[in-house]
Amino acid sequence: MIEIILFVSSVLFIFALKLFGRPSTAHRANTFAMLAMALAVFSAFNFDFSKYDSAFYITIVVSGLLGVLISKRVQMTQMPELVGLFNGFGGGASGAIAYVELSNNSLVMSDFFVAIFSMVIGVFTFSGSIIAVLKLRGKLNNVNTTIANIFSAFLPPLILLPAIWEEIEILSLEYFMLLSLVAGIIRVAVIGGADMPVVIAFLNSLSGIAAMSAGFIVNSIILIVAGALVGASGIILTLLMCAAMNRTLLDVLKGGFGGTAINNEYEKDPISTSPEDVAIQLSYAESVVIVPGYGMAVAQAQSAVKELTNTLKDKNIEVKFAIHPVAGRMPGHMNVLLAEVDIDYEDMFTLEDINSEFSTTDVVIVLGANDVVNPLARTDKDSPIYGMPILDVDLAKQVIVLKRSMSPGYAGIANPLFINDNAKMLFADAKEGLENIIKSFELV
Partner 1 sequence: MEATFLLTLLITFLASFIGYELISKIPQTLHTPLMSGSNAISGITLIAAILIYPEAGESQLLKIIVLIAIAFATLNIVGGFSVTGRILEMFKKND
Angle (deg, nearest 10), helices 196-217 and 109-136: 150
Cα(383)–Cα(264) distance, rounded to whole angstroms? 12
Q: Which ranges of 45-171 would DSSP assign to H, the alpha helix?
A: 54-73, 79-104, 109-136, 145-164, 166-169
Catalytic positions? 371
Nearest to 126 by CA among 73, 173, 183: 183
Instruction: Give the containing element (helix H, strand E) for 399.
Output: strand 398-403
Q: Could you tell me the smallest distance in angstroms from the CB atom of residue 239 to partner 1?
A: 10
Rounded to 10 deg, the angle between the 430-441 and 275-283 helix axes is 60
Q: Which is nearer to partner 1, 7 or 154 (CB)?
A: 7
Contact 320, 289 (CB under 8 A): yes
Question: Counting Cβ atoms within 10 Å, is residue 240 exposed (0-12), middle (13-18) or buried (19+)?
Answer: middle
Which residue, 125 or 361, has its beta carbon nearer to partner 1? 125
Query: Residue 178 Cβ, how far from partner 1 at the closest point, in Å?
Result: 15
Please identify, using beta-carbon distances, which residue of 50 and 405 lies nearer to partner 1.
50
CA torsion, points 351, 352, 355, 361, in degrees to nearest 10? -80
Residues 120, 118: Cα–Cα separation, whole Å: 6
Closest CA to 292 of 330, 334, 348: 334
Residue 222 belongs to what H/E stretch? helix 221-244
Which residue lies nearer to partner 1 by CB, 37 or 155?
Answer: 37
Give CA–CA dist 103/101, Å, rounded.
Answer: 6
- Tell me the C-alpha to C-alpha distance, in Å, between residue 149 and each of 192, 207, 217, 258, 280: 16, 25, 33, 17, 54
Contact (Cβ atoms closer than 8 angstroms) between residue 217 and residue 118 = yes
Nearest CB to partner 1, comparing residues 313 and 439: 313
CA distance 189 to 140: 8
CB atoms within 10 A of CB 248: 12
What is the distance, to the nearest Å, from the Cα of residue 368 to the centroid of all Cα atoms in its chain?
18
Residue nearer to partner 1 on the CB measure, 241 or 414: 241
The region, left, alpha or beta by phi > 0 then psi within -120 to 50, assigned to residue 259 is left
CB 44 to partner 1: min, Å: 4
CB of 91: closest distance to partner 1 in angstroms?
8
Residue whose CB is less far from partner 1, 86 or 358: 86
The Cβ of residue 375 has, within 10 Å, a number of other Cβ atoms equal to 17
Closest by Cα among 76, 138, 77, 125 to 98: 125
Nearer of residues 225 and 399 to partner 1, judged by Cβ: 225
Taking the complex as a whole, the smallest distance from the CB of residue 54 to partner 1 amounts, in Å, to: 12
**Closer residue to partner 1, CB minimum distance, 107 or 158:** 107
